Amino acid sequence: MIKKLYLPLVALMVIALSSCGKMGALSPDYFTTNPQVLEAVGGKVPVTINGRFPEAYMKKNATVQVTPVLRWNGGEAKGQPAFFQGEKVEGNGQTISYKMGGSYTMRTSFDYIPQMANSELYLDFLIKRGSKTYTIPSVKVADGVIATSELPTLSSANASYADDAYQRIIKQAEEANIMFLIQQANLRSNQLNSQDMKDFHKKVAEVNADKKNYKLDNIEVSAYASPDGGVKLNTGLAQNREKNAEKYLNQQLKKAKIDANVDANYTAQDWEGFKELVSKSNLQDKDLILRVLSMYNDPQQRENEIKNISSVYKTLADEILPQLRRARLTANYEIIGRSDEEINDAFNSDPKVLSVEELLYAATLTDDNARKEAIFNKTTQLYPNDFRAYNNLGQMAYAAGDVDKAENYFKKAASLNANAPEVNSNLGLVELVKNNVPAAESYLGKANGANAAAEALGNLYIKQGQYQRAVNAFGDVASNSAAQAQILAKDYNKAKSTLEAIKNKDAMTDYLMAIVGARTNNASLVRSAMKSAIQKDASMAAKAAVDREFAKFQSEIR
């Protein structure tokens, strides 16, 4: 009898001991991560963790808190914990079967800081059963963090330059009209002696006399007839008006001893002029008239249809048509500004004689940064309300690596013109350097039209983790930032071509080339590029030693 009771008692003791035993350590084999090596994206380190509790592990009365922790030498960052519970626990965690076990997925993200570049991802476990709480060994699940997106390439970006509007040769035109009575082509004295004609002859004489500052190209005579009266009648009128106006003009030029080319033409029925005048008028039925013009191409049909609009035709005859009976004289000439040499000489001797456009243009005539700076400073003194010189001083400071000085100039430019695209692009670039992405995005939203806005926008997209958009924004720009975007978008051939095309290569250019080598498993390229990087900046050796990009190439970077 005693023997018969012994075996069931042993079984009960084993079950009791099993149910009371602690839940033990979990093998790393139960976990995978995506990505396998963590990577900084848009200032964050995102990761998806896939885990599994094995069969006969989760006690029915237990809860487990799983916390992702990114650890590095001297610090750690904790992610959002997840909660799991046994079958007899009432709570909000995911229930895991004791018999079957269960799988789960956790998603978390860490705010990136540089110390994370040499870190490891662990899972911490806190188990609670009844009144007892204990931990089991942490499990390492991933290495981290590839931080190529956080490389400081912004220093090589170009700030936007505010261009001058200087034109050495400016085309101008002086016009005067000779008006005619209906169905007449004779020149009337009141028209030839009008103030309009006096001003015209005065300007032609002035241009002809000052050949240093002006060049007279030609004078056009364009004669017209209004579109009423039929094509045959109007053709004759327009021809005669052209002939008489041209004859008069040639007489005046000969009298003034002015040698100029005269080009004459005529328009028999000035429908285009008629349409323009009607469009600008306050005529009650002007939309109807314009509709007639669009519906019919035949001149006679047009005229008949418009005459049928009896309510408006008298107004047309009194106000619109008389303006079309004319001969227009147009003197085409050029204003010739200072030559490059004259502008440089003027700046050296007396900058006050130069316009703001000439001063800003003068800065483009030299590669000497000291002279450029002197020109821009003088421009701010002579034209203190023009934002461009301040902006360009900021652009120079940014190129020299003095971001604080550049920001001061950009803010001064903004105080003069807050809507200038160049200023907004540059302030956005400064905010990106300070890692203030929302402020940068706000400025760059107002930068459309600035000559380096696309480059600034590409850098913004890198910060936001939108790598393909960054590549598209950079276009054909050859810069460290553009290559960085192409690497992050996994277009390694394009990144290599971009880096090779950069004119002023620095240590970061070579470092990025080494990353291209690592990602394409090209040990020779890693070795040569890193050697060049370290020659230019010795600190690159220590940086590469802890960069996960070179985990497989440590022997190549020493």
Q: pLDDT by residue (tens digit) across 238-256? A: 999 999 999 999 999 999 9
Mean per-residue pLDDT over the chain, rounded: 92
Mean pLDDT of 390-414: 97
How far apart are alpha carbons 166 and 164 in whole angstroms?
Answer: 6
The pLDDT of 334-357, averaged and rounded, is 95
Work out the percent of the chain whose per-residue pLDDT is above 70: 96
pLDDT of residue 300: 82
pLDDT single digits (tens) 80-113: 999 999 999 998 999 999 999 999 999 999 999 9
Query: Residue 20: exposed, middle, or buried by beta-carbon count in 10 A (0-12, 13-18, 19+)?
Result: exposed
Determine the Cα–Cα distance for residues 31 and 68; give it in Å rounded to an integer: 12
Percent of the chain at pLDDT > 90 equals 80
Residue 3 has pLDDT above 90, yes or no: no
Which pLDDT score, from 0 to 100, does residue 11 have?
37
- CA 392 to chain centroid, in Å, comes to 18
Q: Is the peptide bond before 37 cis (omega within 30 degrees of 0)?
A: no
- Indicate whether 294 pLDDT > 90: no
Nearest residue to 93 (alpha-carbon basis) of 45, 142, 53: 53
Give backbone dihedrals phi and psi of 551, rounded to 5 degrees, phi first. Answer: -60, -35
For range 289-306, the mean pLDDT: 82
Buried/exposed code over 227-241 (b: 16+ C-beta within 10 A; e: otherwise)? bbeeeeebeebbebb
Pairing of strands 37-39, 132-146: parallel
Is the pLDDT assigned to residue 4 strictly greater than 80? no
DSSP 3-state assignment of 134? strand
Question: Torsions phi, psi of 57, nearest 5?
Answer: -110, -50
How high is the pLDDT of residue 159? 96
Reported confidence tier of residue 307, pLDDT bands at 50, 70, 90 = confident
Question: What average pLDDT does the segment 259-271 reach?
Answer: 93
Summarize the confidence of residues 313-321 as an average pLDDT: 86
Model pLDDT for residues 65-83, shown as the tens digit of each residue: 999 999 999 999 999 999 9
Weakest-pLDDT range from 272-276, 330-334, 488-492: 272-276
- The whole-number average pLDDT for the span 411-439 is 96
What is the H or E stretch that residue 140 is in? strand 132-146
Distance CA 510, CA 544 (A): 12
Contact 326, 221 (CB under 8 A): no
For residue 30, which phi and psi values (nearest 5 degrees)? -80, 0
Tell me the DSSP string of 436-502. -HHHHHHHHTT-TT-TTHHHHHHHHHHHHT-HHHHHHHHTT--SHHHHHHHHHTT-HHHHHHHHHH-
Rounded to whole angstroms, how far apart are CA atoms 151 and 511? 10
pLDDT at residue 39, rounded to an integer? 94
Measured torsion, CA atoms of residues 192, 198, 201, 204, in degrees rounded to the nearest 10: -150
Tokens of 60: 């029915």
pLDDT band for position 500 (cuts 50, 70, 90): very high
158 φ, ψ (degrees, to nearest 5): -95, 130
Measure the CA–CA gap between 181 and 326, rounded to whole angstroms. 9
Round to whole Å and give the CA distance between 546 and 168: 57
Tell me how many degrees the CA angle 445-459-419 measures, rounded to the nearest 5.
25
Q: Are 123 and 139 in contact (CB under 8 A)?
A: yes
Partners of 52 in beta bridges: 103
What pLDDT band is residue 424 in, cutting at 50, 70 and 90? very high
pLDDT of 5 > 80? The answer is no
pTM for the complete prediction?
0.74
Residue 270 token pair = 């000035």
In order, the DSSP letters of 302-353 are HHHHHHT-HHHHHHIIIIIGGGGSEEEEEEEEEEE---HHHHHHHHHH-GGG
- Predicted confidence at residue 241, as pLDDT, reads 96
pLDDT over 90 at 303, yes or no = no
What residue ranges define each of the domains in the chain, with the CATH number in brackets? Answer: 26-146 (2.60.40), 169-282+320-336 (3.30.1330.60)
Amino acid at 85: Q
Give pLDDT tens digits for 192-223.
999 999 999 999 999 999 988 899 999 999 99
Q: Work out the angle between the directed axes of helices 437-444 and 453-464 (0-180°, nearest 10).
A: 150
The predicted pLDDT at position 293 comes to 82
In this prediction, residues 130-144 reach a mean pLDDT of 93
Q: Is the pLDDT of residue 465 over 80?
A: yes
